[in-house]
Chains A and B, each alone.
Chain A
Amino acid sequence: MPLNRDFIGRSFPPTEPYEVSRVKIREFADAIGDPNPIYRDREAAKAAGHPDVVAPPTFPIVISLGGSAMADPELGLNYAMVVHGEQRFEYVRPVRAGDVLVCETTITEIRSIGNNEKLELRTEIKTAEGEPVCTAYNTIVERGA
């Protein structure tokens, strides 16, 4: 079913602030099987020039999956038919333990590709104080029946 084109350009309210903990970063690093000490050990992170442990490059997906932007029934997205098409992160700096982050998502494009619907989202990830940290670009595809 075609997605509602009225959503192109729509921005969603900022998410609740998310506090990044060392434990969550370690859990994520364990889940991707990456033993890098910079994700676990504050001293190792400091030796690499960081104030605290940093998160792996794909960690921002934890807080930028799209959430409320995709959940609005008016958009018409059938989540069971959704696959991830593309993902990109532009980093101002790595996410690190202690960050309190807020996401603001905009639907930048909706178009048909054959039987599929393609939805592009841009999420600005900033600290609660407004310091830009990362921009996430997420393309999802709703497979046609």
Chain B
Amino acid sequence: MTAGVKYDDVEVGTEIPARTYPVDRANLVMYAGASGDFNPIHWRESFAKSVGLPDVIAHGMFTMAQGGRFVTDWVGDPGAVVDYGVRFSSPVVVPDEGGATLEISGTVEDKLDDNKVVVALTARCNGQKVLTRAKAVVRLA
């Protein structure tokens, strides 16, 4: 494993700059195919509305994957992630026109032994938190 971030270079409170990730209907169709989750709330507007949703919503796991990407882009090696968990607090609504934008940022919340750190993630869409208790444990160099 070759993490690009050194354990000694981060402190509790070190911030990882925010990044934005666009999501549109095509992303959700691709994600449905790749993941095998074909629930129509993720691609058919009429069905989503019929079960009380405002519109098509992103797969929770698509949003979690963007958080994962945020962490692996920071650390360099995906193999450095030893634990990753989230709670899905609010759906990401993806309109046909224009899609949606996820904004993800992170903070080093704790330093553990064995060069591991806890990264707390914040994920928002339209100002609303879409993930809570989102944390990744990564092993740094």
Contacts and interface: CB of A to CB of B under 8 A. Distances in A.
Interface of A: 24, 27-28, 30-34, 36, 38-39, 47-50, 54-58, 61-62, 65, 80-81, 83-91, 93-94, 137
B61 interface: yes
B61 A57 contact: no
A91 B61 contact: no
27 contacts: A30-B34, A31-B27, A31-B30, A31-B31, A31-B34, A32-B68, A36-B69, A48-B1, A49-B2, A49-B79, A50-B79, A54-B79, A56-B65, A61-B35, A65-B37, A80-B51, A84-B59, A84-B61, A84-B88, A86-B85, A86-B88, A87-B85, A88-B83, A89-B84, A91-B82, A93-B79, A94-B78
A18 B84 CA distance: 22
Given A83-B88, A88-B84, A137-B85, 8 more contacts: A27-B34, A36-B78, A57-B65, A57-B68, A57-B72, A57-B81, A57-B84, A58-B84
Contact of A30 (B30, B60, B83): B30
Nearest to B79: A94
Given A32-B66, A38-B78, A56-B65, A88 B34 contact: no
Contacts of A86: 85-88, 133
B87 A89 contact: no
A75 B88 CA distance: 24
B17 interface: no
A36 B122 CA distance: 22
A47 B32 CA distance: 31
A61 B79 CA distance: 17
A86 B115 CA distance: 27
Contacts of B64: 58, 87
A56 B68 contact: yes
Given A31-B27, A48-B1, A58-B61, A90 B88 contact: no
B1 A49 contact: yes
Contacts of B72: 34, 36, 56-57
Contacts of B136: 57
A57 B76 CA distance: 13
B78 A31 contact: no
B68 to A, nearest CB: 4
